[in-house]
């Protein structure tokens, strides 16, 4: 979430929804996640292992043709609900669905500063 440094995400959501947010501990990492999460992917970013990554697309619709060495994310557990929902947006050339969705939150962030 685009919150200021030091703002507790769970506390923010408690205020936003006007009800407590139930948290549960992850299975393999020292973090808590929302109990009603659809999918939780646990793991660590390796500080020593790299692998080729890319080419990657930017949200503006531009795609780099470069492949770069990136740190590897080592998955330690995946937990999910039965029949989980995974909402995704496939970014395309501007103006596309993801550009119109992100406009409201980007405007709110600009007004906040």
Give the gyration radius of the chain's Cα atoms: 18
Residues 6+ away with beta carbon under 8 Å from 70: 50, 51, 52, 53, 54
- Let me know if 19 is a catalytic residue: no
- Per the residue annotation, which of 58, 69, 74, 112 is the catalytic one? 58
State the DSSP H helix or E strand holding residue 97, giving kind and residue range, or none if neither: helix 97-112
- Give the residue numbers annotated as catalytic, written as ranges: 58
């Amino acid at each position: 979430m685009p919150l200021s440094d030091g703002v507790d995400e769970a506390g923010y959501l408690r205020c936003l929804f006007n009800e407590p947010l139930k948290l549960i501990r992850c299975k393999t990492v020292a973090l808590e996640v929302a109990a009603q999460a659809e999918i939780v992917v646990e793991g660590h970013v390796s500080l020593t292992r790299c692998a080729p990554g890319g080419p990657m697309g930017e949200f503006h619709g531009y795609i780099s043709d470069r492949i770069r060495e990136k740190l590897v994310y080592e998955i330690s557990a995946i937990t999910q609900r039965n029949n989980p929902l995974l909402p995704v947006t496939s970014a395309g050339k501007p103006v596309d669905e993801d550009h119109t969705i992100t406009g409201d939150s980007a405007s709110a962030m600009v007004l906040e500063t």
